[in-house]
């Protein structure tokens, strides 16, 4: 009787999608297209209460003018939809591969949301716990930050790419010297909003060899800062995160045929090979270097950082010592299912084998033994090196939607 009363008061849904970013928008449109009038009941949960809020905010905060992905990669099930949308806005498609501008992509996503009538699909809620339950109809209880619970038959984890990856020296400073320096003077790249900063005359150290660090360095320079851009190895130049062959069967056929999960993980590392700059960003950085607006420092790492009165004292592995006013570390995020709070109880009740933090899922990206589906970087062992990208969202959606629309697909189906 108690359980029946709880079921009457708790929110209920067939499918709960956690996150409202590009991965979530992609699987939602694919699910609705596939299901038509038979589409299952679903709810999307995100603290912002709106689609793509964090995505758009990060692009604006880091002064990113256009996407790294080509025009064919986007959340619409029709691969030609963005090109058609841009028919009268060709100047916002940048060569090569017609990469869309930030504003064009944002307008396209807004139109997509309107067309699929998704404006009210996002519930403003933060999921803090996923509790597997042994109940006839509902398999999960999602606990929300405000104390409410939501019952769901199936769950798609489509939000979040892991915790911030903080260098050891920065972690030590934050843990032992908190309050000894202004908190805004030492930041992960995800915490930097260029539009909110006055940087004229500031000395800024940007750490990282990926595209984010390049955007931040150029953005700080344009705002009058004196910039040092440092990476632990030589700067790499690549148009995409991984070779274009990884978005289709050219490389994925061999990847999917590989039986060793350890070798798959190594293939992902080799394909991405750390951070890189696009050719156009590298060109801008080299020009700024010639103009002495940006100093590029390769094969160098920070050894020690101290806050002295009103600036940072920085010691490096190459013996250099200098002062700066701000330090931004663009060191990405760490993907590790074992450290993901939302997967804690799932892993306890349905233990999954992890390979360097990545779970071994079934062929439909389903957590072994239950109806939890995973998208984004944590699904890389099945999707490949582009798992966290827009193309990866489409690949993942195709696999997951098949299982969501056909409940008869058994949980025991072979892992692939």
- Going from the N-terminus, what domains does the chain have, and what CATH number goes with each? 2-51+118-162+335-405 (3.50.50.60), 165-238+276-332 (3.50.50.60)
Q: Which of 382, 371, 383 is nearest to 411 (CA)?
A: 371
* Weakest mean pLDDT among 32-41, 62-71, 93-102, 308-317: 32-41
The DSSP result for 10-23, as a single string, is SEEEEEEEE--SHH
What lies within 8 Å, CB to CB, of 118 at 6+ separation is 25, 28, 29, 51, 112
Q: How far is CA 398 from CA 164, 241, 335, 365, 402, in A?
A: 29, 22, 23, 10, 7
Q: Is 147 helix (H, G, I), strand (E, B) or coil?
A: coil
Mean pLDDT score of the chain = 94
Handedness of CA 306, 311, 316, 318 (dihedral sign): negative
Looking at the chain, the whole-number percentage of residues with pLDDT higher than 90 is 91
Model confidence pLDDT, tens digit, residues 142-162: 999 999 999 999 999 997 778
> What integer pLDDT is reported at residue 7 of this predicted model?
47
Question: What would the pLDDT profile of 165-211 be if each residue is shown by its tens digit?
Answer: 999 999 999 999 888 999 999 999 999 999 999 999 999 999 999 99
Is the model's pLDDT at 8 over the cut of 60?
no
Pairing verdict, β 163-164 and 186-188: unpaired
Phi, psi of 318 (to 5 degrees): -85, 10
Instruction: Provide mean pLDDT across the span 339-343.
Output: 96
Provide the pLDDT confidence category of residue 232 given band limits of 50, 70 and 90: very high
Q: Is the pLDDT of residue 122 over 90?
A: yes
Task: Name every residue whose Cβ is closer than 8 Å to that of residue 39 and which is 6 or more positions away in sequence.
Answer: 31, 32
Query: Residues 258-281: what's their mean pLDDT?
Result: 97
CA–CA dist 86, 104 (Å, integer): 7
CA dihedral sign of residues 309, 314, 315, 318: negative
Residue 252: pLDDT band (50, 70, 90) is: very high
Distances (CA, A) of 265 to 171, 380, 388: 27, 8, 14
Contact 153, 325 (CB under 8 A): no
Query: What pLDDT does 36 receive?
Result: 87
CB-based contacts of 182: which residues, under 8 Å, 6+ apart? none
Per-residue model confidence (pLDDT) at position 409: 62
Place of tokens 């029709």: 78
For the residues 80-102, what does the mean pLDDT come to?
Answer: 97
Residues in the chain: 416
pLDDT at residue number 415: 38
pLDDT score, position 38: 86
> What's the rounded Cα separation, in Å, for the pair 25 and 403?
18
Please tell me the pTM assigned to this model.
Answer: 0.94
CB 125 within 8 A of CB 146: yes
The whole-angstrom separation of Cα 125 and Cα 46 is 5
Q: Mean pLDDT throughout 255-268? A: 98
399-411 confidence digits (pLDDT tens) = 999 999 986 565 5
Q: Per residue in 273-304, pLDDT tens?
A: 999 999 999 999 999 999 999 999 999 999 99
């Amino acid at each position: 009787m108690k359980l029946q009363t709880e079921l009457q008061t708790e929110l209920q849904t067939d499918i709960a999608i956690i996150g409202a970013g590009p991965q979530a928008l992609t699987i939602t449109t694919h699910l609705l297209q596939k299901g038509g009038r038979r589409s299952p009941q679903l709810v999307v949960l995100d603290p912002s209460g709106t689609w793509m809020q964090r995505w758009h905010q990060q692009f604006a905060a880091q002064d990113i003018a256009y996407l790294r992905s080509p025009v064919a990669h986007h959340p619409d099930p029709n691969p030609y939809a963005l090109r058609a949308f841009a028919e009268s806005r060709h100047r916002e498609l940048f060569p090569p591969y017609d990469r869309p501008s930030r504003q064009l992509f944002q307008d396209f996503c807004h139109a997509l949301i309107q067309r699929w009538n998704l404006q009210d699909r996002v519930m403003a809620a933060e999921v803090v716990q996923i509790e597997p339950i042994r109940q006839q109809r509902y398999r999960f209880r999602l606990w929300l930050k405000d104390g409410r619970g939501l019952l769901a038959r199936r769950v798609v984890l489509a939000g979040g790419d892991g915790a911030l990856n903080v260098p050891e020296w920065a972690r030590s400073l934050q843990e032992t010297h908190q309050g000894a320096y202004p908190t805004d003077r030492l930041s992960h790249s995800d915490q930097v909003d260029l539009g909110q900063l006055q940087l004229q005359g500031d000395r800024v150290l940007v750490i990282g060899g990926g595209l984010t660090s390049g955007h931040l360095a150029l953005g700080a320079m344009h705002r009058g800062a004196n910039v040092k851009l440092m990476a632990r190895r030589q700067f790499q130049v690549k148009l995409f995160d991984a070779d274009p062959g990884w978005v289709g069967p050219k490389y994925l056929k061999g990847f999917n045929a590989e039986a060793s999960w350890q070798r798959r993980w190594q293939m992902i590392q080799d394909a991405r090979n750390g951070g890189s700059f696009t050719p156009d960003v590298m060109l801008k950085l080299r020009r700024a270097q010639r103009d002495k607006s940006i100093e590029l420092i390769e094969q160098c790492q920070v050894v020690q950082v101290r806050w002295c009165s009103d600036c940072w004292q920085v010691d490096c592995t190459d013996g250099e010592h200098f002062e700066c006013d701000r330090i931004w570390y663009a060191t990405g995020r760490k993907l590790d299912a074992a450290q993901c709070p939302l997967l804690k109880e799932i892993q306890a009740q349905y233990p999954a084998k992890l390979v360097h933090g990545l779970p071994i899922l079934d062929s439909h990206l389903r957590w072994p033994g239950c109806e939890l589906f995973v998208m984004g970087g944590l699904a890389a062992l099945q999707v490949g090196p582009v798992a966290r990208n827009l193309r990866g969202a489409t690949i993942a959606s195709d696999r997951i939607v098949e299982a969501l629309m056909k409940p008869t697909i058994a949980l025991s189906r072979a892992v692939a």
